[in-house]
Amino acid sequence: MQTLTLANIYELQGLKEEALDIYKEVLKKDPRNSDASIAIRRLSGMRRKYLGVDKEMLEFFTTMEDDIEFKEFERWLLKIWN
């Protein structure tokens, strides 16, 4: 069942594409649903701004071996969120 609650859970888990798909389905069923509309705008903007970011750094993040790499990743995170 496609609900806002499920979409929120996916979003909190970092599953942005899955959440976006559910929000779109909710909006198709209820075009006046402002929560779904706001979420779609929010996630669509994030997707454009950070396109490829997850794939780019996932490998680095999962293979970090020392404090130097951790600090480099931390600097990268701060850079994209500012």
Would you write out the chain's pLDDT as a tens digit for each of its 82 residues?
789 999 999 988 888 889 999 999 999 999 999 999 999 988 887 555 555 556 667 777 778 888 898 888 888 777 766 5
Domain count, the chain: 2
Residues 17 and 42 in one domain: yes
73: domain range?
Answer: 52-82
Q: How many CA atoms lie within 13 A of 7 on its CB side?
A: 21
Residues 2 and 42 in one domain: yes
Residues 67 and 39 in one domain: no
Identify the burial level of 23 via C-beta atoms within 10 angstroms of its C-beta, where 0-12 means exposed, 13-18 middle and 19 or more buried. Answer: buried
CB-based contact 59:35 (threshold 8 Å):
no
pTM given for the model: 0.56
Residues 59 and 34 in one domain: no
The radius of gyration computed from the CA coordinates of the chain, to the nearest angstrom, equals: 16
